[in-house]
Structure 1
Amino acid sequence: MYTPSADQSLSEAFNLTKYRVGGNGSRSIGVLKAALEQVEDHIESDIYGTGKVIEQFQEKIAKFLGKETAVFFPSGTMAQQIALRVWCDELGTKKVAYHPLCHLEIHEQDGLKELHHIEPILLADKDSLITLSDVQNLKEDIACLLIELPQREIGGQLPEYSELAEISKHCRAKGIKLHLDGARLFEVLPYYQKTAAEICELFDSVYVSFYKGIGGIAGAILAGNETFTTESKIWKRRHGGDLISLYPYIISSEYYFNLRMGKMGEYYEGAKELAEKFNHCYSIETRPIQPVSNMFHVMFDAPKEKVEHALVEFYQETDVGITGNLREYTDTTCYCEISIGDQYAMIPDEVIEEAFTLLGRKMKEIELT
């Protein structure tokens, strides 16, 4: 039962709601317990990157991605910095290119620059996708171009597959390695109507995550040809990524991969449905207007403090949670990120309809205050 409080923060109010529009549920220790219940106690642990439990999973995901080999990493941050380092060493150039809002640029404390002394070249405007023209007009010699699918920080936007193919063709002609930041690769397959292997064929190396749409504990895979992955294993050891055992991450990754991989189409349809409801609300618009994956941004045309206050009241009155984290976009606008998972389908239709009717009224009230 919801316990209202006049001075609740947005995150506190969100955490008390019964229904959440996004995600796969609470990230409690139950996420790991559910995965471990599916395996026998006698299965041997992996040891410093070797053993059946890790090697079989690596082979499984390499095949799914259409790549020769794959390496399991405890984090995507480690995997992607290493991928770019390997390509820079191979091509003898300490420069790479990526989007201005790439994870490596804004969330990793300059790890690529400080640890590997690699210089990033920022392509495209921060609010736009990287285009073929951007790549063709590069003035610098680079070892690798990183493309993120979808581009999370601008609402999960995607290039058309035909343009992606042209970028790949250009990079191969110029001897530029193409790396895929596929943290949410699984989630874009329904939009592209392609297999993971078909998309990954365009790239020389691929990173995928197992805790985002899949919902595992943590962990990532880096895939490519054998020369690339052999070198990445050396760097994994140098980075301290060869923990004595990674099986809790591997077992949960495989369990939730098996459980949710087939649901990506359902999540995508749910995202389109939910975005349409937001776009019918006063002073709210999604980015993009129609999602191209299971995630999108919700843009509120009102100051952050006012929207937070309205959402706290909304949560208390409806028991429906949208977000616990609003971000300021401008002085007079704000936004949040929504990623559809198992939770959305659990909300009764009548609850969601009544909630969005109220949300529209709440946004109109803001204009009057």
Structure 2
Amino acid sequence: MNGKPLHEAFNRTAYPITGHGKRNIGVLKDALNAYDGDLDSDIYGEGSIIEGFQGKMAGILGKDKAVFFPSGTMAQQIALRIWCDRKGVKRVAYHPLCHLEIHEQRGLHELHGIEPVLLGGKDRLISLGDVQELYGKVACLLLELPQREIGGQLPDFGELEAISACCRERGIALHLDGARLFEVLPYYQKSAAEVCALFDSVYISFYKGIGGIAGAILAGDAGLAEESKIWKRRHGGDLISLYPYILSADYYFEERLPNMGRYYEEAVELAGLFNKCQQISTLPAEPVSNMFHVHAALSKERLEPLLIELYEETGVGLTHYLRETGETSCYFEISVGDRYALIPKEELHRAFAILDEKLAAVL
């Protein structure tokens, strides 16, 4: 199967369990309707819209300055380039499944000549021991919180503090890939500023858990912010106006930040339902944010028609895709958002009871 039947069946369900809703034009319209149509746009990185939002986010993250970027890919490559220039070393360390390594077509190396050092194993988090044993000079260590490609796992906060102290002792800059930073705060029971205090620079996204159109913030010291503006212009990211991204980011940030605790609690509840089903397990076993991975001890070819039947019988949609992990296993990712709370509990529990029955029948 090419995956389209599952995707189409998922789109027909009355109760999809993931995300905030469809990414359609209404997402932007709803955000823009909240603002005065006479509000002046930003122009090439200047104006009250962009400067006010940058100042607001710098305060929330506890950093001197913040700069708005059209994409996180651009923001992070620029942050690492600045740290390499400052340290005089063209090497940075990060996890083998870091976004820069597996999703950016070697952009860091091709555009900036920076050599990545892959730290730790693919199936686990970077540990303090990995950092202590890091060989040779590196300008910067990037940590992703949570580590998406291994189910959204997180280090203990004490481990994070120890890694931060180790980097500072060794003169290594510590950069946070905080694409989902706000989603992990309920687990850590910390503010964004408390987490970011352990890092020298921070990137956050506005289209993942926040649910905006696109856009990112890079925050750090005042010098890093000013240097990043120059690199943003070089990368072609200094568009004449970015206000559709900025306004949607601000609108959905204010709307969804108060819900992050609920999304996290619902993710724990949902993972519990999955783990009661035969041949199903979640990673982590108990989520530490609003996202986790669902692993099935069943091939994609066998699970897909089973899920399509489930969707048609119950109207509850679990996922629109499956990814193979072996000949007899596959997985998918769950991110809990606004949709989950709209599902009647009796319908949800019925769907999982039927799922368990179907899985038992194929043993």
Work out which of the residue numbers 69, 73, 76 in structure 1 matches 2:69: 73
2:50 match:
54
SS in 1 for 2:308: helix
**C-alpha displacement of 1:309:** 1.1
2:319 match:
323
User: Aligned equivalents of 1:297 and 1:8: distance in 2?
Assistant: 21
1:363 match:
359
1:235 match:
231
User: Aligned equivalents of 1:175 and 1:331: distance in 2?
Assistant: 45
Q: Does 1:181 align with 2:180?
A: no
User: Aligned equivalents of 1:87 and 1:229: distance in 2?
Assistant: 12
- 1:141-170 deviation line (CA, Å, top 9, x unaligned): 100000000000000000000000000001
User: Aligned equivalents of 2:362 and 2:116: distance in 1?
Assistant: 42
1:306 match:
302
1:3 match:
none
**C-alpha displacement of 1:366:** 2.5
The code of the aligned residue for 2:116 comes to P
User: Aligned equivalents of 1:321 and 1:56: distance in 2?
Assistant: 40
The code of the aligned residue for 1:13 comes to A
2:341 match:
345
**C-alpha displacement of 1:8:** 6.6
Q: After the TM superposition, which segments of 4 or more aligned residues of structure 1 sit over 2 Å from their partners?
A: none
TM norm structure 2: 0.99
**C-alpha displacement of 1:21:** 1.0
Q: Does 1:260 align with 2:260?
A: no
1:159 match:
155
Work out which of the residue numbers 285, 291, 300 in structure 1 matches 2:281: 285
**C-alpha displacement of 1:20:** 1.1
SS in 2 for 1:317: helix
SS in 2 for 1:236: helix
2:196 match:
200
User: Aligned equivalents of 1:18 and 1:118: distance in 2?
Assistant: 47
- 1:18-50 deviation line (CA, Å, top 9, x unaligned): 101110001010000000011001110000111
Unaligned runs of 5+ in 2: none
User: Aligned equivalents of 2:137 and 2:8: distance in 1?
Assistant: 49
User: Aligned equivalents of 2:196 and 2:362: distance in 1?
Assistant: 46
Tell me the percent identity: 64
Work out which of the residue numbers 125, 131, 136 in structure 1 matches 2:132: 136
Preserved contact between residue 8 and residue 312 of structure 1 (Cα < 8 Å): no
**C-alpha displacement of 1:361:** 1.2
- 1:305-336 deviation line (CA, Å, top 9, x unaligned): 11111111111111111111111111110000
2:81 match:
85
